Structure 1
Amino acid sequence: MDRTTAERIAKRFISLPLEQRRQILDKMIETGQSFRLLPIVSIRHEIGRLPLSYAQQRLLFLWQLEPDNSFYNVPMAVRLHGRLDEQALHRALTLLVQRHESLRTRFVSADGEFHQEILEDSSVALEIVSVAGQDETSLKARIRDEFAQPFDLLNGPMLRVKLLRLSDTDQVLTLCLHHIVSDGWSGELMVKEFVQLYEGLLEERTVELPELPIQYADYAIWQRAWLEAGEGERQLAYWKAQLGEEQPVLELPLIVSGRPAPVIVARSSRSRSPKGWPWSCEYWPARGPHAVHAGSGGSSRGAVTLQRSVGHPYRCAQRRS
């Protein structure tokens, strides 16, 4: 099947009523065909309300429970040496937000459901603060405080940028995003493209970045159309069969330093806290006959086109021991 035909089929599938999508997906499964082979297509402009991806829905739910929590902030800080062209810096950031729609997205509730709203305005509020004379300890504390500020997912913005100026030739650029519109992959991509755009502006040349055939909202639409048509039920049945019906709660002693103990799922053997956790903890062996289930997450960027987009394509897998 050529790509043009595959894209036409994918668009047609997404546009169909739910019952018809279920029938088509059932036939594909019966004949050994995989929906994953169909490409993620650009269809967001043909949809009235842009749905949330399942990862976004989960994070928005958690944010509603604790709107002042900064746990899902994605921080980045870059030390810049040499004279900085602030106008070019601001323009490069604006072009980056213009390129990636997820960076100018907010979340709106209507008729009891949340959906994405992509804003037309791609301007970035760049705050420049003089921190001349501050020592490194004070500077790091200030950056930590900046990254600890919560986001308002209903009103935005989802990106905060601040330039801390120590001198004319020494600055720190901080960028903080909410995980609902970004991930680790997105951070690396943003830094790479920002550098290209900034250098191009300084040299007064046009930067030709790779074309973005889709945006993250297209992925959310594709994911919903697929899972709601029966794939979600199939996967749920698979995991129920793998994990079993009994899901006991384990009483594990937990040593935590630096903050209150979080609610977690632990492994059955002693281990250190996962990389990136903001606290230090240790798990001790579980006692009893029960199996232990552990969840692990990661980026879901199998499609090449999705690898160029800023967003939060996420999957979670369960393990049983």
Structure 2
Amino acid sequence: MDDLIRNINTLNSQGFTFWIEQEGRLRYMLSQSHPEKEEALIWVKENKEKLLELLKFNVKTPETSIFPYIYKYNVDKQHLSFAQERLWFIEKYEQGTNAYNIPIICKLSKGVSVGILERSIKAIIARHEILRTVIKEDSAGSCYQEVIDTNAYPFEIQKVKCISKKELDENIKRDVTHIYDLSNEYPIRVRVYTLEDSNNKEDKQNQNDSDLSTPTYFLSIVIHHIAFDGWSSGIFLEELKEYYRHYIAEQVGHMSQLKLPPLTIQYKDFALWQRNYLTGDVLAKQLSYWKQRLEGYEPLHLHADYARPAEMDYQGRNIPFELDRDLSLRLREAAKSLGVSLYSLMLAC
């Protein structure tokens, strides 16, 4: 199966595009000037049935544009991406760590429908398979992705009542520091906290008398980095707003159309594409480039006030500071002239 996928990606990179029409026919597009046109056509005919089975999710109609370079494959075991594999190695080496948890913690505004919010979050998890994916290993020690069946194992959002701000903070800290069992549980945890604290003076001062009996809600979402990153946060929050808007409109009887495009591929499809794309000449070219760029590098020694512990404990804190506008502009210009990111320049300072 891997050889078949590798051949598809090779042909695709040469301008040979495959798709399946709605009636189930295998179609392709190939430049007339392709240097190996005849050989490619022979290979397609010899592997027609396998291609139909493998690409059966890539259905197109004549009116639609040619589908993306990344195919949606039908395979039993989906490989991890290189980034996922690195994180999986760290998880195994550390025997579980919370260093790669990404928290989204917020206080909900008055009037937010908690029920609709929960429904919206579950809709996002159903939409994005990576948020319900576990990592498995076969008998040979090879790891692969497996999507959780939400019908068999529904995603649960826990509701927790807290009687004090201290109890709330302790609960959220437990959420943020949770160590995931990435082989058996969703890589996302969601909690809705209700704070009924008569001593919470700050909130009470901001409430009208009619609101004094209304509890304050907090939303805790913690997602492991193996399924999420900084770029994902913006997508997640935008989709959450759209699902919430859509369900609220439906609840009050308004006609509403969900303004989210269907997903033509999932992250696992990208992972498989990446695995088969970064091989052969492509991989050799990338390795050659970075070996040349990094030749003669020197390790970066950051000056620290204390000696590093023998075993990393991931303890630390943020220390905010500001640079004036003039210095900021000069640093950006310096980074630009050196051809490096501002992040790299600041590390080297």
TM-score by length of 1: 0.66
Residue in 1 that maps onto 2:81: 53
Distance 1:217 1:251 in 2: 37
Residue in 2 that maps onto 1:94: 122
Matched-pair contact (CA < 8 Å) for 1:129–1:165: yes
CA distance change for structure 1 residues 120 and 142 in 2, over 3 Å: closer, same or farther?
Answer: closer
2:239 pairs, out of 193, 206, 225, with 193
Distance 1:88 1:261 in 2: 48
CA distance change for structure 1 residues 195 and 58 in 2, over 3 Å: closer, same or farther?
Answer: same
Matched-pair contact (CA < 8 Å) for 1:93–1:124: no
Matched-pair contact (CA < 8 Å) for 1:103–1:158: yes
The yes-or-no answer on 1:214 pairing with 2:265 is yes
Which is greater in Rg? Answer: 2
1:151 pairs, out of 180, 187, 198, with 180
Residue in 2 that maps onto 1:62: 90
- In the TM superposition, what are the counterparts of 1:250-261 in structure 2 within 5 Å? 253-255=303-305, 260=309
| 1:86 positional shift | 3.7
Q: Which runs of 5+ in 1 are unaligned?
A: 1-11, 26-30, 32-37, 264-276, 282-294, 299-315
Q: Secondary structure at the match of 2:279?
A: helix
Matched-pair contact (CA < 8 Å) for 2:6–2:276: no
CA distance change for structure 1 residues 203 and 75 in 2, over 3 Å: closer, same or farther?
Answer: same
CA distance change for structure 1 residues 39 and 278 in 2, over 3 Å: closer, same or farther?
Answer: farther
Measured on the aligned residues, the alpha-carbon RMSD in Å equals 3.7
Distance 2:217 2:280 in 1: 51
Higher strand share: 1
Distance 1:194 1:67 in 2: 33
Matched-pair contact (CA < 8 Å) for 2:116–2:248: yes
**222-231 or 105-114, which deviates more:** 222-231
Residue in 1 that maps onto 2:106: 78
Q: Secondary structure at the match of 2:79?
A: coil
Distance 1:254 1:262 in 2: 16
Q: Name the % identity.
A: 28
Distance 2:10 2:249 in 1: 51
Matched-pair contact (CA < 8 Å) for 1:162–1:173: yes
Distance 1:237 1:14 in 2: 27
Distance 1:131 1:76 in 2: 19
Give the AA of the match of 1:56.
Answer: Q
Residue in 2 that maps onto 1:171: 217
Give the AA of the match of 2:155.
Answer: V
Q: Secondary structure at the match of 2:305?
A: strand
| 1:185 positional shift | 1.5
Aligned residue pairs total 247
Matched-pair contact (CA < 8 Å) for 2:188–2:222: yes
- In the TM superposition, what are the counterparts of 1:107-126 in structure 2 within 5 Å? 107-110=135-138, 111-121=140-150, 123-126=154-157
2:228 pairs, out of 182, 186, 207, with 182
Q: Which runs of 5+ in 2 are unaligned?
A: 15-33, 35-66, 197-213, 251-255, 320-339
Matched-pair contact (CA < 8 Å) for 2:242–2:259: no
Residue in 2 that maps onto 1:131: 162
CA distance change for structure 1 residues 255 and 88 in 2, over 3 Å: closer, same or farther?
Answer: same
Residue in 1 that maps onto 2:279: 228
- In the TM superposition, what are the counterparts of 1:234-253 in structure 2 within 5 Å? 234-244=285-295, 253=303
Distance 1:256 1:87 in 2: 49
Give the AA of the match of 1:15.
Answer: I
CA distance change for structure 1 residues 76 and 320 in 2, over 3 Å: closer, same or farther?
Answer: closer
Distance 2:348 2:114 in 1: 52
Matched-pair contact (CA < 8 Å) for 2:300–2:348: no
TM-score by length of 2: 0.61
| 1:41 positional shift | 2.7
Distance 1:16 1:243 in 2: 29
Matched-pair contact (CA < 8 Å) for 1:88–1:198: yes
Matched-pair contact (CA < 8 Å) for 2:189–2:222: yes
CA distance change for structure 1 residues 196 and 169 in 2, over 3 Å: closer, same or farther?
Answer: farther
Matched-pair contact (CA < 8 Å) for 2:72–2:266: no
| 1:124 positional shift | 2.1
- In the TM superposition, what are the counterparts of 1:7-46 in structure 2 within 5 Å? 15-17=5-7, 21=10, 39-44=68-73, 46=74
Give the AA of the match of 2:160.
Answer: V
- In the TM superposition, what are the counterparts of 1:261-272 in structure 2 within 5 Å? none
